[in-house]
Amino acid sequence: MDRKKILLVDDSSTVLLMEKMILSKSPYELVTACDGQDGYDKALAEKPDLILLDVVMPRMDGFEVCRRLRERDDTRGVPVIMVTTRGELNSVETGYQSGCTDYITKPINGLELISKVKSYLGD
Amino acid sequence: MAQGSGTRPPDEASTHRLQSVHDQLKDLIESLREQRERRVREGPPAPASAVSSPAEGPPLAPVPEVLDLEKRRLSADLAEARAELARLSGEEMRLRRQVADLEREHRRLSDDYVAVEEQNSELASLFVALERLHGSADRGDAMAAVQEIVVNMVGSEELGVYQLDRAGGLELAHGFGLAAARPDRYPPGDGTVARVAANGAPFVAGRGEASEDPDLTAAIPLRSGGRVAGVLAIWRLLGHKPSLTDLDQRLFSVLECHAGRWLSPAAE
């Protein structure tokens, strides 16, 4: 049986490393992207089951990535969790308007991240 | 109606006798009921022996032995039912205690799991910070690593890395999100940041003496070869982060011990 696949999109190698460390014990395949454009391209190529998406990134921010993914039939249904430092209400609202499914704030809490991922992908 | 049971086998005779007793008891109950109703209608009760009509057969006499037997049987049944109830009540209590024990154990295991996962997450954070600092290829990469650690792992959006100059003052080497009021330079001994550089003791708001800068959250000495080479100053925390945590203190220790080597003159 194929493992579920998670696409991690962040321009910070520190955050990517942190997410990989937290999710390394779980039974998911992890794919990374280092900016918004790279994240969008890999979402089309890799067909992930879940996307963890940073907001502030070069070339294309997370809101734009999410909007574009929602415009396509093959990626419209993929759950997208925004990973953001901007926990203020207006940023969260902007995220939902762009089509994100959920959000998590930085600093990332490992338990919270695992719990949210499991809620969308199962154990 | 049977005339006698002398010619029948013993088991059939016993059955016949029991059936007869049963029939008599049934008739007795019916006659007692009719007596009660007649008493209510007419007054003094009629003799029990005059109850039965010619169509129902000969007059019935009370069977005290049958009543007594029935009473003893019912009493035994009642005692048995009470004993069973007591036994089941005890079993219920035992099962309730077992359920409570299991629930307590479940809560303990859940708490232990959360504690272990939090510890794992903390260790992961420290490992990542060390990995990023030691994996830096040059000073620029190291400063980016410090910024990423402070922004994404501590949770701040305003920081400055100051390098100690030959005069003992501090020059801004790298900044992120700095407000206009933040200085590019601290003269020797001027303020909390400079004092941290001089005495090597970290400053954290809310612990120990207050700073003359009310916005300063932390000032961490950055060491190279055991000597202070600079100071990391952190101002605003992210809006949803109320205060620094124990993990943040540990991250500061990692930064203090491992980020300063890129601030020494040899690293430039």
Alpha-carbon distance A27 to B143, whole Å?
A: 34
Interface touch B148/A88, C-beta < 8 Å: no
Q: How far apart are the first and last CA of chain A?
A: 14
Count of Cβ atoms closer than 10 Å to residue A35 Cβ: 17
pLDDT in tens, chain B (268 residues): 444 444 555 566 667 777 777 787 888 888 888 888 888 887 655 555 555 555 555 656 557 888 888 899 999 999 999 999 999 999 999 999 999 999 999 999 999 999 998 898 899 999 999 999 999 989 999 999 999 999 999 999 899 999 998 888 999 999 999 999 999 999 998 899 999 999 999 999 988 888 889 999 999 999 998 899 999 999 999 888 888 999 999 999 999 999 998 886 644 4
Q: Is B229 helix (H, G, I), strand (E, B) or coil?
A: strand
What is this model's ipTM? 0.86
Mutation target among A8, A10, A12, A14 for the B interface, most CBs of B within 10 A: A14
Residue B252: closest CA among B207, B215, B222: B222
Residue B110 burial (10 A CB sphere; 0-12, 13-18, 19+): exposed
- Nearest by CB to A85, which of B114, B131, B238? B238
Element (H, E) at B204: strand B203-204
Q: Would you say the C-alpha torsion B213, B216, B221, B222 has a positive or negative sign?
A: negative
3-state secondary structure of A83: strand
CB contact under 8 A, B241 and A15: no
Q: What are phi and psi of A117, to 5 degrees?
A: -60, -45
CA nearest to B152 within chain A: A107
A13:B157 CB<8 A: no
Which of B118, B125, B151 faces A85 most closely, judged by CB atoms?
A: B151
- The predicted model scores a pTM of 0.73
- Structure confidence by residue, pLDDT tens digits, B171-216: 999 999 999 999 999 999 889 999 999 999 999 998 888 888 999 9
Provide the 10 A C-beta neighbour count for residue B52. Answer: 16
**What tokens were used for B24?**
């008599």
Nearest-CB residue to A17 (from B114, B128, B239): B128
How many cross-chain Cβ pairs, A to B, lie less than 8 Å apart?
A: 63
- Determine, for residues A105 and B151 on separate chains, whether the beta-carbon distance falls below 8 Å: no
- For residue B155, list chain A residues with Cβ-Cβ distance below 8 A: 85, 106-107
Q: What is the DSSP letter of B189?
A: T
